[in-house]
Structure 1
Amino acid sequence: MGSVSALPVVESCLVAPSDETPRRGLWLSPLDLVLATRGHTPLVHVYGASDVAGFFDVARLKESMAKALVPFYPLAGRLGADSDGRVQIDCNAEGALFVVARSEHTVDDFSDPSPSPELTKLFAPRVQPPSVMLAIQVTFLRCGGVVFGTAVHHAIVDGSSMFHFTRTWASYCRYGDGAAVAEAPPCHDRALLRARSPPFIHPETIPMFCSNLTMHDSPATSVLGTEVFTISGEQLHALKRHCDGASTFCSVSAMVCRCVCVARELDLDATTRMNFPVDIRRRLTPPLPDGYFGNGVVNVFATASVKDVVSGTLASVAFRVKATTERLNDDDVLRSAVDYFETTAEKGMRAAEDRGNLPETELRMNSWFHMPMYDTDFGWGKPRMTTRAEAVRGGWVYLLAAGGGGARVLLSLEAATLRKFDVVLRRVLASERARL
Structure 2
Amino acid sequence: MAPQDPLVFEVRRREAELVRPARPTPREYKRLSDVDDQEGLRCQIPVIQFYRGDSTGQDPARAVREGLARALVLYYPFAGRLRELPGRKLVVDCNEEGAMFVEAEADVTLDQFGDALRPPVPCLEELLFDVPGSSAILDSPLLLIQVTRLKCGGFIFALRLNHTISDTAGLVQFMNAVGEMARGADAPSIRPVWQRELLDARDPPQITCTHREYDQVEDTKGTLIPLDDMDHRSFFFGAAQMSALRCRLPPHQQASSTFEVLTACLWRCRTVALQPDPEEEVRVLCVVNARTKFDPPLPAGYYGNAFAFPVAVTTTDKLCQNPLGYALELVKKAKADVTEEYMRSLADLMVTRGRPHFTGVRSFMVADTTKIRFGDVDFGWGKPVYGGPAKGGVGAIPGVASFYISFRNRQGEDGIVVPVCLPALAMRRFVRELDALLNDPPPTTTTTTKSTFVISSL
TM-score of the pair, normalised by structure 2: 0.82
Residue of 51, 54, 60 corresponding to 1:51: 54
Contact 1:366 1:397 in 2 (8 A): yes
Deviates more, 1:400-409 or 1:236-245: 236-245
Separation in structure 1 between the aligned mates of residue 88 and residue 145 of structure 2, nearest angstrom: 29
Separation in structure 1 between the aligned mates of residue 54 and residue 29 of structure 2, nearest angstrom: 44
Contact 1:344 1:350 in 2 (8 A): yes
Contact 1:240 1:248 in 2 (8 A): no
Counterparts in 2 of 1:158 and 1:417: CA distance versus 1, 3 Å:
same
Structure 1 residue 167 and structure 2 residue 176: aligned? yes
1:50-199 aligned within 5 A: 50-82=53-85, 86-107=89-110, 108-109=112-113, 111-112=115-116, 113-115=118-120, 118-124=123-129, 126=131, 128-129=133-134, 130=136, 131-174=140-183, 176-177=184-185, 181-182=188-189, 184-199=190-205
The residue type equivalent to 2:168 in the other structure is: G
Structure 1 residue 277 and structure 2 residue 287: aligned? yes
Counterparts in 2 of 1:258 and 1:200: CA distance versus 1, 3 Å:
same
The residue type equivalent to 2:75 in the other structure is: F
* Deviation at residue 109 of structure 1 after TM alignment: 2.8
Separation in structure 1 between the aligned mates of residue 40 and residue 73 of structure 2, nearest angstrom: 23
- Identity of aligned pairs, percent? 28
Separation in structure 2 between the aligned mates of residue 33 and residue 376 of structure 1, nearest angstrom: 27
Separation in structure 1 between the aligned mates of residue 214 and residue 20 of structure 2, nearest angstrom: 38
The residue type equivalent to 1:429 in the other structure is: L
Separation in structure 2 between the aligned mates of residue 265 and residue 65 of structure 1, nearest angstrom: 46
Contact 1:124 1:389 in 2 (8 A): no
Deviates more, 1:231-240 or 1:369-378: 231-240
The residue type equivalent to 1:166 in the other structure is: M
Separation in structure 1 between the aligned mates of residue 399 and residue 192 of structure 2, nearest angstrom: 35
Residue of 221, 227, 234 corresponding to 1:228: 234
Counterparts in 2 of 1:387 and 1:26: CA distance versus 1, 3 Å:
same
Structure 1 residue 410 and structure 2 residue 414: aligned? no
Q: 1:396 maps to what in 2? A: 401
Residue of 322, 329, 332 corresponding to 1:312: 322
The residue type equivalent to 1:362 in the other structure is: S
* Deviation at residue 81 of structure 1 after TM alignment: 3.4
* Deviation at residue 258 of structure 1 after TM alignment: 1.9
Structure 1 residue 367 and structure 2 residue 368: aligned? yes
Separation in structure 2 between the aligned mates of residue 94 and residue 70 of structure 1, nearest angstrom: 13
Residue of 243, 246, 266 corresponding to 2:256: 246
Contact 1:125 1:151 in 2 (8 A): no
Contact 2:36 2:164 in 1 (8 A): yes
* Deviation at residue 309 of structure 1 after TM alignment: 2.3
Contact 1:115 1:387 in 2 (8 A): no
The residue type equivalent to 1:412 in the other structure is: C
Contact 1:134 1:151 in 2 (8 A): yes
Structure 1 residue 17 and structure 2 residue 26: aligned? no
Q: 2:297 maps to what in 1? A: 287
Q: 1:419 maps to what in 2? A: 428
TM-score of the pair, normalised by structure 1: 0.86
Separation in structure 2 between the aligned mates of residue 8 and residue 117 of structure 1, nearest angstrom: 16
The residue type equivalent to 2:286 in the other structure is: F
Instruction: Name the SS of the counterpart of 2:376 in structure 1.
Output: coil
Instruction: Name the SS of the counterpart of 2:293 in structure 1.
Output: coil
Instruction: List per-residue Cα deviations over 1:112-150 (Å, max 9, x = no partner).
Output: 254379412443453644411112111112333211111
How many residues are treated as equivalent by the alignment? 420
* Deviation at residue 166 of structure 1 after TM alignment: 0.3
Separation in structure 2 between the aligned mates of residue 247 and residue 235 of structure 1, nearest angstrom: 14
* Deviation at residue 282 of structure 1 after TM alignment: 1.3
Separation in structure 2 between the aligned mates of residue 430 and residue 68 of structure 1, nearest angstrom: 48
Deviates more, 1:149-158 or 1:379-388: 379-388
Q: 1:334 maps to what in 2? A: 343
Q: 1:382 maps to what in 2? A: 383
Q: 2:309 maps to what in 1? A: 299
RMSD: 3.0
Contact 1:124 1:137 in 2 (8 A): yes
Return 5+ residue gaps in structure 1 as ranges: none
Instruction: List per-residue Cα deviations over 1:240-270 (Å, max 9, x = no partner).
Output: 5744211121110111122223334455444
The residue type equivalent to 1:280 in the other structure is: A
Counterparts in 2 of 1:213 and 1:292: CA distance versus 1, 3 Å:
farther
